[in-house]
Structure 1
């Protein structure tokens, strides 16, 4: 019975994530005025969030509802690949969004000529290829290790380090490569985002009035919120895996789930509330249905 109660918030979060992200995709598709770089990147984020939550939630809910605690090793490696691959893609999309905000605020007259549709498509392709290629060694390395210990992972999904720790051999290659990807992706992406926002803030503070400063900063606030929601729990989860050996196991599992489930749920809500164009289109949609 306790498992059913625990599953309710997870199921609710998944339902909100699915509904919210599909709503974002629908609104951007239906509204011609939203056919621009910022909203194309937002659609990419919505798609990656849908894949990320769908990679973990159905299996997690089957554990709670049907006590289905087993997963085939190949399915486990597939889930591992999708989770880490789309997490890296998410991070890349945040960098692309920071670039869009930088050009829009620091060089607004050239925004439409710099971030053309082909350029946005190339950025999207680069984000996908980077995520796909960097994470590809994870399942290949994990598959080659011999497993002769327990086959139970203390997780609701197949997390990379949790899986390779079960191997009865030296897994330093997997461990070091995981660290390399984490520092390369997170380190570089956070650096580029920080540089973009330093330039953005300099441009904002050089504006003549307080009102225009606040209005311009308002166009970045939703992006800053989703960046914090993504990076803070993921960094916390990563550090706990590596160094938090004295923390309770259920706390590890909770944080790992929060890091994968909360951003896909909150991202469309934040953009829906904070972005005027999306909010207005959503209100028009409901007002038409009401009449």
Structure 2
């Protein structure tokens, strides 16, 4: 295994972190507000997690401070750059808390291996924030402390990127189903209406794309079956409501989706479910995945 990947993957195997990770999950779940505020922290209005984007602010300001500090050493008269570098460090400190809050909101619903990596990521960021804060009150060592903080934030940020792109935290787990189901132009026969149990979600397929299908009388509604949050099978979830207000709640982390348009109504999911159009002809159910809601 390549050395860098091995280093980034290592925290996911550190089971000694599990007690700390579990305690952190309980505390964050109790302290952070729920409902719409939690939805904002997850990034539901944007359709994707907001924590990575928010992290660009403290990282960007700290890198800018690092550049100014380097220029202060290398350029004649560069000592004047110390004041703006200090201001940038203060901006980094000020933006750490909201960024961390959004990250902890996402952390609560991660799998244990993801949480282990996230704990190390958070610890690195805490070290960075501590160093940046100390630099605001330091004299000659301020530049050294700012630089050390930026290096710690860079390492933590790299691990956070690995958590997102290698361990799929915060990613949309259903976007690919639109492509697996074909071009969405033609309806596919997914079976007879009589084969579907009344009021109980069942799994059916269009090609390699799983669907969560629900029969209500002589009509059928459906969503793609893979939850956008972390890939749970939605057909194992709980159905609520009637008519266009019918929803299904993910069995893993309680994200609630509306059948009519795939929108997220509650829970940690930020991306909506791809929309499935259905119709019944001569007792057979036809369906097509028409894409994410716009």
* TM-score, with structure 2 as normaliser: 0.27
Task: Give the greater-gyration-radius structure (CA).
Answer: 2
Structure having the higher helix fraction is 1
Query: Which protein has greater RCO, CA pairs closer than 8 Å, 6+ apart?
Result: 1
* TM-score, with structure 1 as normaliser: 0.28
